[in-house]
Structure 1
Amino acid sequence: MSDVAVTRSGDESGGALFRLRTIVFLITVGVAAFVAMLVATAYAPGSTPRGGGAAHALSNSALGYSGILRLAEATGHQTRVIRDDNLLSTPGLMVLTPQTADTPMGEALTRRTRLPTLVVLPKWQTIPDKGDAGWVDHVGLLPSSEPEGVLAPGNKFKISRAPSGGRPLLTDGFLSESIAFSAPRPLQTMTGDKLTPLLTDQAGHIVLAQVGAGPLYVLADGDLLSNMGMREASNAQSALALLDQLNDDGQPISFDVTLVGLGRAPNPLRLALDPPFLAMTLTLVAAMLLAAWQAVTRFGPAVRRERAIAFGKAALVDNSAMLIRKARRQARLGGRYVEVIRDRAVTAFGVPPRLRDQAIDDYLDKLTARDRFSDLARAAESATDRASLVAAAQALHDWQKEKAQ
């Protein structure tokens, strides 16, 4: 059976619908598009859920802080929303908005020991509005234990709520008098050790304070920065000025959302495309390309497959010898070899045709006095192993060759 396919009209291409060049082009375009899609997926900004109206920088509810974020962007400030825990040590002011007392603040505060950080304490208790997604319904004030426990036990302070009448707040410390907030209703204030007042009400109750000697600031009433507080232009202007004065010069203002569960884990695909793993990725790609090239390209001349059963007498002899060798019957071939040599000698030395059997051996023995044919034949017929058979056959072959000279 032949390995060569038979095609119509002698067409060696087998009636292919596309040329090789077209197929290579289509595969190249497909691979390039797939790689482009992977890179775009790795570096796509993606989207983040709004968190059901909670008090954070991505919320459009009355308690959210998306208004101050958009205002800062509109006025030329550099801003960023932190969705990765690894970016908590970003330089510049960072606004943290914990929702309850059990919010894990330890890691964030540890990373920002020497960086300006504003912690906005929770105030309101709300529930999601069933009619409008992203909106909330007002329930009431949170228990005072919730804002009091945000920085506990390292920093303890007492929370108070009282009617404010919307009177102006007073600045203190390094804050300038250009910051002119109207007090929210009701006003949430705090008292405690290690608090340096920066913003107070008319009675001296602390609304904004610096904790210790580091750049850690605590805002007791988040309504000063929330979307609800941005309704008044003076409050919006004061909120922006407050962030500027708490921030380092020229650094971006960051708003964290990891504490409210809106963090985003690092993209493994992007990790493979960023240093130092980029070198390993390129090495793997190069190895795959070389393997693909070797798979479609032949190196060296084509090697034709050999037949399982060869043609000719030589192949038949080789196969027979292989079978005899595997059966370990070489020693039993001595008598057959003697007959072959005897027949050749009869023809070569002109033995009379009337002689038979032993008479032929006697005639051959008389041809020389040194090596008798009958002795050599007897040694070949009585061989019991391969070595003795080879020796006897070699002696017969030499006898024949000597007499023929």
Structure 2
Amino acid sequence: MSDIAIGSRGADGAFSARTVILILAIGILGFIGTLVLGAYAPDLRSGRNGGGHALSTAATGFSGLVRLAEATGRHPQVARDVHRLDTEDLVVLTPESGTTNLFPILSQRSAKVTLVVLPKWLTVGDPERTGWVHYKGLKPSSDPGGVLAPKEEIEVARHRSAGVPLVTSPELPRTIRFTAPRPLQTISGTGLTPLITDPQGRIVLAKLTDRPLYVLADPDLLSNIGMADARQAASALDLLDWLNSNEATSIYFDVTLNGFGRSPSPLKLAFDPPFLAMTLAIAIAVFLAAWQGAVRFGSPRRRARAIAFGKVALIDNAAALVRKAGRYAMLGNRYADMTRERASTIFGAPAHLRDGALDSHLDGLGRQPRFSDLAQAARDARDQHSVLSAAQALHQWLWEKNR
């Protein structure tokens, strides 16, 4: 009926424009934040799962060595992407099981210095403290022995050590002075050049003779357990420096073997160069389109009433209803009856005359056209144009007779 009720006042909105804008801004920022976190959530995992890798703070982890290397200016890098391992710098691999597939990385680094730290302990997570573990015992010796299989066959053994000092090869700096963990895990096999051994000559650290691949049998020399001792920690840093002595600028600790690699994601591509520029361009275009749609240009124009005031509006609306209903055929006869009544009153026709007799009386008032012919034409009209023509003819007849 109408946009504004007659005599009523416009009701105030439930929220002000500033409140609505603030709600929209918070919602949009929250949506964008959800997208970004969803894209990078796998890359932001802390790694505090009690495993034996560079992100773990458990006793069997190596985060202590990473933090120590960072504090002493060695610029360690935790590699979540296998493509970052294509570097001349030292790469430390810490597989947690003998079934871990090292072949893709080792084939990529066939001529580059790589240190493989064998697993040793069988642990379970502490349910009360995140990132802590409980010892269940030692892994079966066949498990760490299968890390380099089938290309390299090595055997793993465990021995009581009583914490004796380990023997260092003359090739290594004299500052490297490790004490044997308890128990001590050693390796043996063909193609191994011993670098660190126990007093009985059993190998703790070895180099493969055909390439710069080093194998550390006992992880406790570098793990968080060993970093608790200042002398062991200093020897660990000196060992990494010696292995990384080709003027390298960093040390890479791989965690892709431990399940913390970056997985490809179409959503992540939208936030990484070079696609980031396109994403920002689309976001700006959407923002400008939304701004144009939300901001009014010029003064507001009040819409007209659906039904206007006055007799003319009432007639127009009635005509519109007839036109929409398609009832033109009913109008001609009614208009003829109305004209007959008006003419009877104006010309003083006898009151007893009805229908045909009254039409004959009106026909006798004068010249052509006759009223009865005009009334019959109105009754026969069936469409809009013929009804209009008949009504105009009746109106003209009455006007001429009344002059």
TM-score (norm 1): 0.69
Report the AA paired with residue 291 of structure 1.
A
Superimposed CA distance per residue, residues 327-355 of structure 1 (whole angstroms, 9 cap, x where no aligned partner):
544223333333555677789xx968679
After TM superposition, give the deviation of residue 320 of structure 1 in Å. 3.3
Query: Conserved in 1, the CA contact under 8 Å of 2:196 and 2:205?
Result: yes
Gapped runs of 5+ residues in structure 1? Answer: none
Query: Conserved in 1, the CA contact under 8 Å of 2:113 and 2:243?
Result: yes
Report the AA paired with residue 68 of structure 2.
L
After TM superposition, give the deviation of residue 150 of structure 1 in Å. 1.5
Comparing 312-321 and 226-235, the one that deviates more: 226-235
- CA separation of 1:30/1:332 partners in 2, compared to 1, >3 Å: closer, same or farther? closer
Query: Conserved in 2, the CA contact under 8 Å of 1:88 and 1:108?
Result: no
After TM superposition, give the deviation of residue 78 of structure 1 in Å. 0.1
Superimposed CA distance per residue, residues 258-311 of structure 1 (whole angstroms, 9 cap, x where no aligned partner):
54456687999987654324642563365256436634646653232514x433
* 1:102 aligned residue (99, 106, 112): 99
Number of residues of Structure 1 aligned to a counterpart in Structure 2: 386
2:146 alignment counterpart = 149
1:6-405 equivalences under 5 Å are 23=18, 27=22, 31=26, 38=33, 48=46, 50-52=48-50, 54-59=51-56, 63-82=60-79, 84-85=80-81, 89=85, 91=87, 92-106=89-103, 108-109=105-106, 112=109, 116-125=113-122, 141-162=138-159, 165-171=164-170, 175-178=171-174, 180-182=176-178, 184=180, 187-193=184-190, 195=192, 197-199=194-196, 205-211=202-208, 213-230=210-227, 235-247=232-244, 249-260=247-258, 273-275=271-273, 276-277=275-276, 279-280=278-279, 283-284=282-283, 287-288=286-287, 290-291=289-290, 294-295=293-294, 297=296, 301-307=300-306, 309-326=307-324, 328-339=326-337, 357-364=358-365, 366-368=366-368, 371-383=369-381, 388-393=386-391, 395-396=393-394
Report the AA paired with residue 254 of structure 2.
D
Q: Give SS of 2:293's match.
A: helix
Equivalent-residue separation in structure 2 for 1:129 and 1:334 (angstroms): 97
Q: Give SS of 1:51's match.
A: coil
Equivalent-residue separation in structure 2 for 1:95 and 1:319 (angstroms): 88
Report the AA paired with residue 380 of structure 1.
A
Query: Conserved in 2, the CA contact under 8 Å of 1:179 and 1:239?
Result: no
Equivalent-residue separation in structure 2 for 1:129 and 1:17 (angstroms): 53
Superimposed CA distance per residue, residues 176-232 of structure 1 (whole angstroms, 9 cap, x where no aligned partner):
444644462555333345545555566765433444755433222223323444566
Superimposed CA distance per residue, residues 54-90 of structure 1 (whole angstroms, 9 cap, x where no aligned partner):
54334556544344333322321101334x3566536
- CA separation of 1:28/1:345 partners in 2, compared to 1, >3 Å: closer, same or farther? closer
Q: Give SS of 1:378's match.
A: helix
Equivalent-residue separation in structure 2 for 1:220 and 1:17 (angstroms): 71
Report the AA paired with residue 170 of structure 1.
S
- CA separation of 1:5/1:280 partners in 2, compared to 1, >3 Å: closer, same or farther? farther
Equivalent-residue separation in structure 1 for 2:290 and 2:209 (angstroms): 63
After TM superposition, give the deviation of residue 96 of structure 1 in Å. 1.8
Query: Conserved in 2, the CA contact under 8 Å of 1:51 and 1:262?
Result: no
Report the AA paired with residue 311 of structure 1.
F
Superimposed CA distance per residue, residues 378-402 of structure 1 (whole angstroms, 9 cap, x where no aligned partner):
3333445556544544555666788
Equivalent-residue separation in structure 1 for 2:175 and 2:386 (angstroms): 118
After TM superposition, give the deviation of residue 120 of structure 1 in Å. 0.2
Percentage of pairs with the same residue:
43
Q: Give SS of 2:167's match.
A: coil
Superimposed CA distance per residue, residues 153-198 of structure 1 (whole angstroms, 9 cap, x where no aligned partner):
2332222445675342215xxx544464446255533334554555
Report the AA paired with residue 337 of structure 1.
Y
Report the AA paired with residue 51 of structure 1.
N
After TM superposition, give the deviation of residue 121 of structure 1 in Å. 0.6
- CA separation of 1:114/1:343 partners in 2, compared to 1, >3 Å: closer, same or farther? farther
Query: Conserved in 2, the CA contact under 8 Å of 1:170 and 1:202?
Result: no
Q: Give SS of 2:364's match.
A: helix
- CA separation of 1:311/1:223 partners in 2, compared to 1, >3 Å: closer, same or farther? closer
Equivalent-residue separation in structure 1 for 2:133 and 2:350 (angstroms): 130
Gapped runs of 5+ residues in structure 2? Answer: none
Comparing 91-100 and 279-288, the one that deviates more: 279-288
RMSD over aligned CA atoms reads 5.0
TM-score (norm 2): 0.69
Equivalent-residue separation in structure 2 for 1:300 and 1:184 (angstroms): 86
Q: Give SS of 1:251's match.
A: coil
Q: Give SS of 1:190's match.
A: strand
Superimposed CA distance per residue, residues 243-272 of structure 1 (whole angstroms, 9 cap, x where no aligned partner):
123335333212234544566879999876
Query: Conserved in 2, the CA contact under 8 Å of 1:170 and 1:201?
Result: no
Superimposed CA distance per residue, residues 124-149 of structure 1 (whole angstroms, 9 cap, x where no aligned partner):
44566899886666665432201111
